[in-house]
Amino acid sequence: MTFEPTERRSIGRTGLDVTRLGLGTTSVGGVFDVIDERDGLATIERAWDMGVRYFDTAPLYGYGTAERRLGRVLAGHRRGEFVVSTKAGRLVRRLDEIEPGAIVDVAAFGDRRVSDGRKEIGHRVVFDFSRDGILRSVEESLDRLGLDRIDILFLHDPDDHWEEAIGEAYPTIHRLREEGVVSAIGAGMNQSEMLTRFAREGDFDVFLVAGRYTLLDQDALSELLPTCVERTVAVVIGGVMNSGILAAPTQVGLFNYKPAPPQIVERARRLAEVCDRHGVPLKAAAIQFPLAHPVVASLVAGVGRIDHLDEYPVLMQEVIPADLWTELRSEGLLAPGAPVPGGN
């Protein structure tokens, strides 16, 4: 069994459908490395040319740069041909605009500055899950994207803001869905526990699960994914390489955006060894594994370069022998009950 990158999968009961391969614009926005305007636009255009029709972005990515770049490319295409998800919960503000008492996400980028062709200005992102904050975020995202509506709106990393997120942000995005400003609502996080709580306490359409349902880390399997099946909530997978350790399992690799601890490096190496024995690229197994779960609609590739993006369709269609998945189970590297390509 392999996966067709341009196959469409539905998002809950919303009527939206997304391609199995999506483009995540974290890197396009210059979050991890400086990506100039031309290269960023070229990567988005390449995704379009290969048939990708689902694009995920956020104000956080390059302080609005990713949204602006995505909007420039999509402006040349008919609105009904693509699906865009963006996020709310952080507002992009210039340093001189930040009010006293604001909760600034200083850990995101430190003193980094970004440029999208305008004069370079220092920015920060300010956490704000209030009703007014969500409405401002949506308005600003629509302006940067050049769109009149948002297909999917995620609450972005509300880890330390549960009460405000469920008490103010959720009713606000629920109302925006009723008004047709957005078509689907959800949350995007690097953990599964709070997403499970959202699924049980709210009426959501889709979650973006980053790094918690991968070949290396199957934390979401036991509670979140079954809850999503029960509630007809679709799942989009991000961070499939776990910040890079599955792309290159070495002592200098990253996991969860930090240097990988020794036990994670060792587990990644064991995964690589099994793949090597079966002549399968580790990245192919990492990409195909989460797509085998029936609730997973799409995998977003958070790449900033065309050559990295071009790998994904090839690896999605790499033939992986059933014996590889059997050996991973016998080695204790796959959680019991985790679906695998081919259904073994």
Mean pLDDT per 10-residue run, the chain (344 residues)? 96 96 93 85 98 97 94 97 97 75 57 42 83 98 97 97 98 98 98 98 98 97 98 97 89 81 94 98 98 98 94 97 97 95 80
3-state secondary structure of 182: strand
**Residue given tokens 């526990």 in the structure block:** 193
Residue 57 and residue 66 in contact, taking contact as beta carbons nearer than 8 Å: yes
CA distance 152 to 205: 9
* pTM, 2 dp: 0.93
3-state secondary structure of 224: helix
pLDDT at 33: 76
CA distance 152 to 166: 18
| 202 CB-side CA count, 13 A | 28
pLDDT at 113: 42
Conformation bin of residue 178: beta by default, left when phi > 0, alpha when psi is -120 to 50: alpha
The dihedrals phi and psi of 328, each to the nearest 5 degrees, come to -60, -40
pLDDT at 95: 73
Two tokens at 180? 């047709």
Residues facing residue 234 across a β-bridge: 206
49, 143, 16, 69: CA torsion to nearest 10: 20
Is residue 18 exposed (0-12), middle (13-18) or buried (19+ Cβ within 10 Å)? buried
3-state secondary structure of 69: helix
CA nearest 206: which of 26, 13, 3? 13
pLDDT at 100: 65
pLDDT at 103: 66
Residue 31 and residue 338 in contact, taking contact as beta carbons nearer than 8 Å: no
Asked if 63 is an active-site residue, the reply is: no
DSSP code of residue 196: H
Strands 123-127 and 150-156, bridge-based pairing: unpaired
Q: Any alpha helices (H) in 278-332, and if so which ranges?
A: 282-291, 306-316, 322-330
Determine the residue type at 174: H
- Please pick, among 54, 61, 63, 312, the residue that the annotation labels catalytic: 61
- If one counts every other C-beta atom within 10 angstroms of the C-beta of residue 310, the result is 14
Domains plus CATH for the chain? 8-330 (3.20.20.100)
Two tokens at 170? 């959720």
